[in-house]
Structure 1
Amino acid sequence: MEVDVLDDLDPRTLALKNYMGIVENHNENLSKSTHKSFPSSNETSRKTRRCQSDPYYINVKKKAVVVLTRLPECTVSALQKTPPEQFYGEADSPTTACSDTSWQPDDNSEDSDFSALINKRKPTKPKKGDTASTPAPATTSNNKSVTGRGTVVESSAFAHSSNETTKVRPNLPEVDLQMDMVVLARKRAMRWQRGKIVEVVTKEDGRVKYKIGFEEKGKSLVSGHHIAFETTPKLDQLYVGARVVIQSPDDRLCFMPGILSELPSRKNRLRFLVFLDDHTPLYVGLPSLHLVCKPLEDPLEDIPDNRHKCFMIQYLKNWPYPHLTHYKVEQNINAELNGVLQKCTVEVVDCSLINVVFESTQSKEWIHRGSIRLEHMAKFLKLNDDKGSPNDSDHK
């Protein structure tokens, strides 16, 4: 039994089906014919008029419609408000973008060799009748001190882990010095050499001395704090303030004593900074380092130069925020050479060091940016001492 389900459809749906059936039959006839034939324009227009005259004819074409919605007045007014001032950056603020200019020191001034790291209004000349006063040293909020005319001294944080801030020797077991052990021993103040322990001598007062036979002839009787391991140390044995010996860059057979002053970090390009006992700073790699076997309780007591010893005491006291002067390449500064201030030019800035060429001798030398040999650092330290002297007198 067949059931006609077309009666339940909507009349418009039926009209559409009829129209689609006409088109399908027409396409089927075209596919069956062996010759290409096209319906006449009269027949096509007649079928089109017949479908359009049907009361249930549906136009199946789609048209894009854009609907506009009007926002409430409160929303429009809120969007038109100017953002608060704190959302502007220093360079984007509409009130301060053009008001302040970057201050640069005068190139002709001998005391203005530092680059300006902070934005500062250009100083105006004092009017007649006004007394010109010298500005006092100011400390900025980012640990930078401004001294003199544009000289900037910054306190940079170099430690990136907690164990670098303690400056305490790791609690590691000591290695006993034995006979026939190859070591690095002190031959002169700034010259250590490779040798072998040939005898262990115990004094009447209980002190232990070691007789070293050097590879380059000669023997010497030294203490444990004048002997360094010949092997390369491990990273967990190193700390800021450690007594070390490094290989001389000029002589492979010579080693020089110093104090480890920086551990590897991104700020120093993963290198070790060592201050030699003659105040010379050097960046070295791990293979160049050798730990002193039995350093003194205070390793700085082994430094013969009192001036450098005082510098290292202050340096370790300030660590991990050592004071560094800020220079740029081709700046003309004054630095100490052979005990006298000499004019020199900064050629290279390498992390905590600068390479300068002295005008008088054309000699080049690496100097630490916090060195007391720099005129600006010497002035900075003197200003700090003068500033602290009244307080010291009050406590007396």
Structure 2
Amino acid sequence: MEVDEMETRMPELQESRKRVKTKKRTEPYEERDDDENMSDSPCGSVPSTTETPGKETQLEDGSDSLSVIKKAVVVLTRLPEYKISALRPPTPQQFYSEDDSKTAKHAKNDTTRNNNNNNNEPGPIIISSAFAHCSNETTKVRPNLPEEELKVDMMVLARKRSMRWQRGKIVDIVTREDGRLKYKVSFEEKGKSLVSGHHIAFDTTPKLEQLYVGARVVVRCQDNKFRFRPGVLSELPSRKNRLRFLVFLDDHTPVYVGLPLFHLVCRPQENVVDDIPDSPHKSFMMQYLKDWPYPHLTQYRVGQALNVELNGSQQRCEVQVVDCSIMQVIFLESQQKEWIHRGSMRLEHMARFLEMKAEERNGDSD
């Protein structure tokens, strides 16, 4: 009797399995409607058509649970580029765009080819990179702000010699026949001078909204807090320079400074380079401001040997420190150390590069 009972149940079990298999084959079509609705969502996910082994095992084993098992779907959403950049830690390579890499590649080929004709020493990469990421970091237009009034008894910084400014007090304001104003300044350290408005700087710390690339400033000397040297503001704070100001002094020395260490000239000339004495540095500043915010920069590494102009001749140096746009070199013969801009025309590689660019421009004009 037990055998007959088993034989009776076998057809029922086979029939049940047929029904289960039939339902399994139709499930992908039933689930496709749900997946198609998901594909219309902003996530843009792609529906999966792969059967999960777990569901097939349960059905083939004759499990009592015949309910549809929902498959897990991983939805990938692409973040905007600015969010990716914000999450990524800053690296030197991040500071240069794809266009900069192309410029660097061409410049590397040019400088390497140029050096192969000399002493077979590889030259550095020369790039022209967008220096900042925000418009207020790249501006070189003077803000349209009201001028601060200059008064008698006002403390100022005034020019005593070309590279020496000192603190003093305005004791008189003289109007010339042509209408120009002159300011008589009595210096704290003794002596008086009659100077123009572009040879006077405010004694107060400038406000950020007053600053721009190309502003005429004076910087306090590190070795003497009572003396100041004139220069041109050449970089505003950004990620690239670790949130500092770069100033080119009139003797071509580049310095990174904080806001309290420099002061704005009161009445700068329309063309800031007109106040720089005639020199190679004046030509450099004209080209620098013209190229900004895409200045030419050489890429050197610590320990690399190079030639730098000193006292009219190229002398052998070694890179000691690289700090953003400037580097410290040591002259091997005299052991003298000096900070120099990585785009300075005193660098032999940069001088060759600029000559090559000038030849290209002359060739195109012909």
Task: State how 1:123-142 maps to structure 2 within 5 Å.
Answer: 141-142=102-103
**336-345 vs 216-225, which deviates more?**
336-345
Provide the secondary structure at the position in 2 that maps to 1:184. strand
- Cα–Cα, structure 1 residues 384 and 180, in superposed 2: closer, same or farther, change >3 Å? same
Q: Is the 8 A contact 2:138 2:292 kept in 1?
A: yes
Distance 1:207 1:355 in 2: 43
In the TM superposition, what is the alpha-carbon distance from 1:190 to its structure 2 partner? 0.3
Are 1:232 and 2:195 counterparts? Answer: no
Unpaired runs of at least 5, structure 1: 1-63, 71-138
Aligned residue for 1:215?
188
Please state whether the residue corresponding to 1:293 is helix, strand or coil.
coil
Please give the alpha-carbon distance, in whole angstroms, between the structure 2 residues aligned to 1:339 and 1:194: 34
Which of 246, 253, 260 in structure 2 is aligned with 1:287?
260
1:73-92 Cα offsets, whole Å, 9 max, x none, are: xxxxxxxxxxxxxxxxxxxx
Report how far residue 207 of structure 1 moved: 1.1
State the partner residue of 1:272.
Answer: 245
Between Structure 1 and Structure 2, the one with more helix by share is 2
Following TM superposition, by how much is the alpha carbon of 1:66 offset from its aligned partner in structure 2, in angstroms?
A: 8.3
Q: Give CA deviations for 1:148-174 in whole Å, capped at 9, x if unaligned.
A: 324210112222222343411000000
- More divergent stretch after superposition (307-316 vs 163-172): 163-172
Q: What whole-Å deviation, never above 9, does each CA across 1:276-328 have from its counterpart, x for those lacking one?
A: 00100000000001000000011110000331111111111111111000000
Provide closer, same or farther for how the CA distance between residues 65 and 391 of structure 1 changes in structure 2, counting only shifts above 3 A.
closer
In 2: Cα distance, 1:324 partner to 1:225 partner: 31
1:165 maps to a residue whose letter is T
* Mapped pair 1:352 → 2:325: yes
Please say if residues 277 and 305 of structure 1, whose CA atoms lie closer than 8 Å, have aligned partners that are also in contact. no
User: Identity across aligned pairs (percent)?
Assistant: 65
Q: Is residue 132–residue 240 contact of structure 2 (8 Å, CA) maintained in 1?
A: no
Change (3 A) 1:181 1:65: closer
**Residues 65, 233 of structure 1: alpha-carbon distance in 2 compared, 3 angstrom cutoff:** closer
Cα 1:346–1:206 shift into 2, 3 Å: same
Query: Which of 67, 74, 82 is residue 57 of structure 2 equivalent to?
Result: 67
Aligned 8 A contact 2:131 2:138 in 1? no
Partners of 1:224 and 1:294 within 8 A in 2: yes
* 1:34-86 per-position Cα deviation (integer Å, ceiling 9, x unaligned): xxxxxxxxxxxxxxxxxxxxxxxxxxxxxx9982999xxxxxxxxxxxxxxxx
Cα 1:201–1:69 change in 2 (3 A) is farther
Taking a change above 3 Å as real, the CA distance of residues 68 and 155 of structure 1, as seen in their structure-2 partners, is: farther
Aligned to 1:82: none
SS at structure 2 position matched to 1:377: helix
Mark the CA change 1:65 to 1:378 in structure 2 (over 3 Å): closer, same or farther. Answer: closer
Q: Distance in 1 between matches of 2:324 and 2:175?
A: 46
Match of 2:344 among 357, 367, 371: 371
Q: Which residue of 2 aligns with 1:318?
A: 291
User: Is this contact kept in 2: 1:231–1:290, CA < 8 A?
Assistant: yes
Structure 2 partner of 1:135: none
Secondary structure of the structure 1 residue equivalent to 2:102: coil
Whether 1:179 aligns to 2:152 is: yes
Displacement of 1:338 in angstroms is: 1.4
Using structure 2 for the length normalisation, give the TM-score: 0.69
Query: RMSD of aligned C-alpha atoms?
Result: 2.0
The normalised TM-score by structure 1 is 0.64
Encode CA deviations 1:239-281: one digit per residue, 9 max, x unaligned. 0000011101121111000000000011100000000001000
The residue number in structure 2 matching 1:389 is 362
* Runs ≥4 residues deviating over 6 A: none
| 1:102-141 matched pairs, under 5 angstroms | 141=102
